[in-house]
A and B are shown apart, each in its own frame.
Chain A
Amino acid sequence: MSATMSQKARILAVAAVLLALAIIVPLSSSFVVLLATRALVFAILAMSVDILLGFAGLASLGQAAYLSVGAYLTAILAAKYQFGLGWDFWLVVLFAVLLGAATAAFFGLFAVRATGVYFLMITLALGQCVWGLAYRWNSLTNGDNGINLTSRPNFGLDLANERTFFFLVFAFFSVTLLMLYVLVRSPFGRSLEGIRERELRMQILGYNTWLHKYIAFVIAGAVGGLSGVLWAHTNGLVSPDTVVLTTSVDALLMVVLGGAGTLVGGAIGSAIVFGLREYLSTLVPWWQYVLGGVYVLTILYMPMGLMGLPARIRQWRGARSRSANGQSLMPAQS
């Protein structure tokens, strides 16, 4: 019973925070609005990483590939075919999600056979292949000049206004969060967690673990594609710089910082990283050390990320006599 209660309370907490964000951010300065928008777009990508890391136990260093696939699709359709700038924007969203899923379906055939560090490396290699394509396929992607989007879509909302655009991104984030939440709470999601914990046992129980992981991979790709559409419209330009390794590493960092397996952990991590990177960087030149330091400390002392902080404090208070190390990265229970 207390588990359900704590679950309800958690949902309420998240909803409250989201509501607060929706009210406060638009009232702040333009810079905060811009940052919050970018952080939310990235948070969607981080959620796709979290599906893999926090729920399936697979650390991927190649999620930027799906963001770029969605972003380039949006940019090419807009710039070359003037498609997606009106109500057809929603079609572009659909296409991007499908394309992200398709790419992941293809890549997954190679990647999901591996686990652990091999998975890490193969996703890295796949991500780099996409980067290479973005760079060299000049006729399609315009190479390193990138593709400019002429304007934000117009379907009755003035999206050139940064605050209105923020609401759109916010809506996408919330809906995605909701959908993924339903997913991880479903039997499928539970099976994933079971695979993360003890794959052999799940196989003995008769689960097709490969298929479960593969589906998770495809879903992560779909979410990544979605984030790409928003990314393209946030910045107005898509270039190979989007697909670099550091983007994927950033997403992984954000999830770890915020707490893997919590979905919102990615958003928290995104807020922290963007806040530090873009806000602190305007104040002090040594912000990289702060970021690196926060990250290292989180891994060492708060393996469940910031979301795991209260549990950690409780544990520390209650278990002072016992040593509290050896805690695994993924939460054993939600």
Chain B
Amino acid sequence: MQFWLIQAFNGISYGALLFLLGSGLSLIFGVMRIVNLSHGSYFLWGGYIALSVIWATGSWGLSLPLAALAVALIGLVMERVFLRPLGFDPLRQVLLTVGFAYLFQQGALDIWGGNNMEINPPSALTHSVVLGGMYFPLYRLFMITTALAIGLTIWLGMEKTRVGAMVRATVDDAQMARGVGIDTNRVSMLIFALGALLAAVGGVIGGAFLGVYPGLDFEVLPLAFAVVIIGGMGSLGGAAIGAMLVGLADNFGKALFPELAYFTLYAPMVLILAIKPTGLFGRE
């Protein structure tokens, strides 16, 4: 019984991290129909910038918002300067994001070096809560609560505000949205920056959990894809469910079928895409 509870907890906490990573990707696709292949780079740079902030100021609490905003800014610039001029050409935009992923990777290597680093959270978060003889690391709880808080905030923003309504309209039908006077370019820019911000938050939080090192960007990218594929593009709720499913499947898959550890992620992805090419909750 303990085994199942702990594994479920682990899977959910991993899913929380994946939600932060994947929700941004999902939103970006929903609004702009771009699969942002430099999304992993945003995740990685979030972690690296947070490290720099910590080295400079010693404050972990400060690193999260600063890194998130910095990466959001990078995302903003990238959208405005490079993606927007391409017009509506999803394939070309996707390929452009690949080029940027390469540049980001090299840049990170030059700025921060190649060591395997990690973000050490404040010691308050390094303990574990003991319930019924089972250890629940506080940091994992923190991951879950943060993801929940952010998820709720965004959801509220989407549902209850005017800006949110504009975003939803654009996701549903960009042409119609333009037709009723919504500035879809602005919406795109906003969503792209938001997506980058979410990825960066994931990177900062994940930095204590996965580490921060060269190559992490291309390692988390397939994970983000998995979330979006399973949960469907453009749907925040779908991203949440997708993230949970991926987190749990990955966790239980590795624990119960360690022989297949390399496939627990990709095989389900292939199957789901084969049956429903737009993802479990996607709509096309």
Q: Do chains A and B touch in the complex (CB under 8 A)?
A: yes
Q: How large is the interface on B (under 10, 10 to 19, 20 to 34, 35 or more residues)?
A: 35 or more
- B273 → chain A closest CB, angstroms: 4
B 13-39 binary contact with A (CB < 8 Å = 1; else 0): 000000000000000010001010000
Of residues 283 through 301 on chain A, the ones whose CB sits less than 8 Å from some CB of chain B are 288-289, 291-293, 295-296, 299-300
Q: Is A125 engaged at the interface, CB distance under 8 Å to the other chain?
A: yes
Chain B interface mostly helix, strand, loop or mixed? helix
A 242-260 binary contact with B (CB < 8 Å = 1; else 0): 0001100100110010000
Query: With A and B bound together, what is the CA distance between A115 and B33 in angstroms?
Result: 13
Q: Is B136 engaged at the interface, CB distance under 8 Å to the other chain?
A: no
Query: With A and B bound together, what is the CA distance between A246 and B218 in angstroms?
Result: 9
Which partner residue on chain A sits nearest B86 by CB separation? A300
Q: Is A159 engaged at the interface, CB distance under 8 Å to the other chain?
A: no
Q: Are A125 and B269 also in contact (CB < 8 A) when A113-B274, A132-B262 are?
A: yes
Q: Is B122 engaged at the interface, CB distance under 8 Å to the other chain?
A: no
Which partner residue on chain A sits nearest B92 by CB separation? A329
- B207 → chain A closest CB, angstroms: 23
Chain A residue contacts of B269, Cβ below 8 A = 121-122, 125
A113, A131, A289, A329 pick with most chain B CB within 10 angstroms? A329
Q: Are A120 and B100 also in contact (CB < 8 A) when A245-B218, A299-B95 are?
A: no
Question: By the criterion CB–CB under 8 Å, are A296 and B263 in contact?
Answer: no
Question: By the criterion CB–CB under 8 Å, are B98 and A59 in contact?
Answer: no
B 68-86 binary contact with A (CB < 8 Å = 1; else 0): 0000000000000010011
Question: By the criterion CB–CB under 8 Å, are A296 and B96 in contact?
Answer: yes
Q: Is B155 engaged at the interface, CB distance under 8 Å to the other chain?
A: no
Chain B residue contacts of A115, Cβ below 8 A = 277
Question: By the criterion CB–CB under 8 Å, are A117 and B273 in contact?
Answer: no
B102 touches which of A121, A129, A292, A303 (Cβ 8 Å): A292
B277 touches which of A113, A253, A328 (Cβ 8 Å): A113
Query: With A and B bound together, what is the CA distance between A115 and B90 in angstroms?
Result: 12
Q: Is A325 engaged at the interface, CB distance under 8 Å to the other chain?
A: yes
Question: By the criterion CB–CB under 8 Å, are B35 and A299 in contact?
Answer: no
Question: By the criterion CB–CB under 8 Å, are B266 and A132 in contact?
Answer: yes
Of residues 85 through 121 on chain B, the ones whose CB sits less than 8 Å from some CB of chain A are 85-87, 89-92, 94-96, 98-100, 102-103, 105-106
Chain B residue contacts of A122, Cβ below 8 A = 269-270, 273-274, 277
Question: By the criterion CB–CB under 8 Å, are A136 and B262 in contact?
Answer: yes
Residues of B participating in the A interface, judged by any CB pair closer than 8 Å: 29, 33, 35, 82, 85-87, 89-92, 94-96, 98-100, 102-103, 105-106, 218, 222, 225, 229, 259, 262-263, 265-267, 269-270, 273-274, 277-278
Q: Can you sample 18 A-B contacts with CB below 8 Å?
A: A59-B95, A113-B274, A122-B277, A128-B265, A135-B262, A292-B100, A292-B103, A296-B99, A296-B100, A296-B103, A299-B86, A300-B82, A300-B86, A325-B85, A325-B87, A326-B87, A328-B92, A329-B95
